[in-house]
Amino acid sequence: MKALNPGDPEAVSVGLKAWKAAHPEARATLAQVADHADYIRRIAGIDHVGLGSDFDGIDSTPLGLEGVDKYPELLVELARRGWSDSDLAKIAGGNVLRVMRGAEAVAKRLQASTPTPSATIAELDGPPTK
């Protein structure tokens, strides 16, 4: 629109509004999110599926999944598709907790076997450059 209307911000605004009206945003549905979860489970396995969210700063969400308060509806949809209680527990937090426990165990092992470095960042990086 800016290229079509150089120096005319009002025409750009009107043109963008008209384009958006003629081309409404396509939004995924909760069922399509469930389809995606089914696909990931089929390809990667249930131990590699998890629900996560970052609804901050986004303009659009899937219809029926506008916030984390809608997760129960997604879990109901997955249960309707045959997901077991164990599967649902894994994606609702069990998998991420398992991974975090594993990371914690590795960190403890490394801390026990590797001395803590005492060098400062300045010592490692050298003097600041201009």
Task: Determine the average pLDDT of the residues in 115-123.
Answer: 85
Distance (Å) of CA 5 to CA 14, 17, 108: 11, 14, 61
Question: For residue range 71-101, what is the model confidence (pLDDT) as tens digits?
Answer: 999 999 999 999 999 999 999 999 999 999 9
What are the tokens at 46?
């249930």
Q: What is the number of residues in the chain? A: 130
pTM: 0.70
To the nearest whole number, what is the mean pLDDT of the chain? 92
How far is Cα 85 from Cα 113, in angstroms, rounded to an integer?
39
Which 3-state string (H, E, C) describes the chain? Answer: CCCCCCCCHHHHHHHHHHHHHHCCCCCCEHHHHHHHHHHHHHHHCHHHCCCCCCCCCCCCCCECCCCHHHHHHHHHHHHHCCCCHHHHHHHHHHHHHHHHHHHHHHHHHHHHHCCCCCCCHHHHHCCCCC
Is the pLDDT reported for residue 120 higher than 80? yes
